[in-house]
Chain A
Amino acid sequence: MERDDVIEYSLDTHHDEAHGKKIRKKIWQVTAILTVITAFEVGTGIVFKQSSEYWQVIKWMFIVLTLVKAAYIVLVFMHLGDEKKSLKYIILVPYFIFILYLIFISLWEGKAIDAALKLYGA
Chain B
Amino acid sequence: MAGHATNQIDASSLWGGKVSPFSTSYGKLMMWFFLVSDALTFGGLLISYGFTRHDAQASWPIGEETFNSLPFLGHGYPLIYVALMTFILIVSSVTMVLAVEAGHRMDRKGVTKWMIATIIGGFFFVGSQAWEWSHFIHGSEYGKVELADGSKATVSGHSFKNFTVTKAGHDFKKGTYETEELLHDFHSAVLAGKVKDNKFKTHGGAEVTLNTNADGHLKLIIKEDGKKFKTGKVIQNHEANELYYEAINSGTRNRVTYGANLTSNEYGPAQYGQFFFFITGFHGFHVFSGVIINIIIFFGVLRGVYHKRGHYEMVEKTGLYWHFVDLVWVFVFTFFYLV
* B13 lies within 8 A of chain A by Cβ: yes
Partner of B97, one of A27, A95, A99: A27
A13 to B10, Cβ gap below 8 A? yes
Chain B CB within 10 Å, residue with most, of A39, A84, A110? A110
Q: Residue of B at shortest CB range from A2?
A: B18
Identify 5 new A-B residue pairs, CB closer than 8 A, beyond the known A20-B105, A113-B54. Answer: A9-B5, A62-B334, A66-B331, A66-B334, A98-B40
Whether, in the assembled complex, A87 has its beta carbon less than 8 Å from a beta carbon of chain B, the answer is: yes
Q: A84-B23, A95-B36 known; A45 and B13 CB under 8 Å? A: no
Contact residues of A between 77 and 122, Cβ < 8 Å to B: 77-79, 83-84, 86-87, 90-91, 94-95, 98-99, 102-103, 106-107, 109-111, 113-114, 117
Q: Are A110 and B54 in contact (CB under 8 A)?
A: yes
Q: Is the CB of B106 within 8 A of A107?
A: no
* Chain B residues touching A, majority SS: helix
Chain B interface, number of residues (Cβ within 8 angstroms): 75
Nearest CB in chain A: distance from B57 CB, A: 6
Q: Does B9 lie within 8 Å of A114, measured CB to CB?
A: no
- Decide yes or no: A111 and B55 within 8 Å by CB, A4-B5, A10-B25, A27-B94 being known contacts: yes
Contact in complex: B40, A95 (CB < 8 Å)? yes
Q: Which residues of A contact B (CB under 8 A)?
A: 2-17, 20, 23-24, 27-28, 30-31, 34-35, 38-39, 41-42, 45-46, 49-50, 59, 62-63, 66, 69-70, 73-74, 76-79, 83-84, 86-87, 90-91, 94-95, 98-99, 102-103, 106-107, 109-111, 113-114, 117
B residues bordering A, Cβ < 8 Å? 1-10, 12-14, 18-20, 22-25, 29, 32, 36, 39-40, 43-44, 47-48, 50-57, 62-64, 78-80, 83, 86-87, 90-91, 93-94, 96-98, 100-102, 104-106, 311, 313, 316, 319-320, 323-324, 326-327, 330-331, 333-334, 337-339
Residues of A within 8 A of B87 (CB): 35, 38
Distance in angstroms from B205 CB to nearest chain A CB is 44
The answer to whether A12 and B338 have CB atoms under 8 Å apart is: no
Say whether A8 contacts B62, CB under 8 Å.
no
Query: Complex Cα distance A14/B7, Å?
Result: 14
Give the residue name and chain of the A residue nearest to B53 (CB).
Answer: A110
Q: Could you tell me if A35 and B22 are in contact, using CB atoms closer than 8 angstroms?
A: no
Q: A16 to B15, alpha carbons, bound, how many Å? A: 26
User: Which of the residues A4, A5, A42 comes within 8 Å of B79, measured between beta carbons?
Assistant: A42
Main secondary structure of the interface of A (DSSP, over half): helix
Residue numbers in A under 8 Å from B78 (CB-CB): 45-46
A95 CB contacts on chain B under 8 angstroms: 36, 39-40, 43
- Beyond A6-B3, A77-B323, A78-B324, is A20–B104 a contact (Cβ under 8 Å)? yes
**Cβ–Cβ contact A9 & B6, under 8 A:** yes
Residues of B within 8 A of A66 (CB): 330-331, 333-334
Q: How far is the CA of A103 from the CA of B98 in the complex (A)?
A: 35
Distance A86 CA – B24 CA, assembled complex (angstroms) = 11
Known: A38-B86, A78-B324. A7 touches B101 (CB 8 A): no
> Of all chain A residues, which has the CB nearest B14?
A7
Q: Is the CB of B98 within 8 A of A114?
A: no
Which residues does chain A contribute within 8 Å of B104, judged by CB atoms?
A: 13-15, 20
Which chain A residues lie closer than 8 Å to B313 at the CB level? 13
- CB proximity of A21 to chain B, nearest CB, Å: 10
Question: Are B32 and A87 interface neighbours, CB within 8 A?
Answer: yes
- Contact partner, A31, options B1, B8, B94, B330, Cβ 8 Å: B94
Question: Which residues of the other chain, A, contact B50 by a CB distance below 8 angstroms?
Answer: 103, 106-107, 110
Residues of B within 8 A of A12 (CB): 7, 10
Are B90 and A31 in touch, CB under 8 angstroms?
yes
- Give the chain B neighbours of A46 by CB distance below 8 A: 64, 78-79
| Complex Cα gap A78–B316 (Å) | 9
Flag if B52 contacts A110 (CB, 8 Å).
Answer: yes
How far is it, in angstroms, between the C-alpha of A107 and the C-alpha of B106 when the chains are bound?
49
Nearest chain A CB to B331 CB, angstrom units: 6
The 8 closest A-B pairs by CB, nearest first: A110-B54, A87-B22, A10-B13, A113-B55, A9-B7, A110-B51, A106-B51, A42-B83
Instruction: Kindly identify which residue among A62, A87, A114 contacts B55, using a CB–CB cutoff of 8 Å.
Output: A114
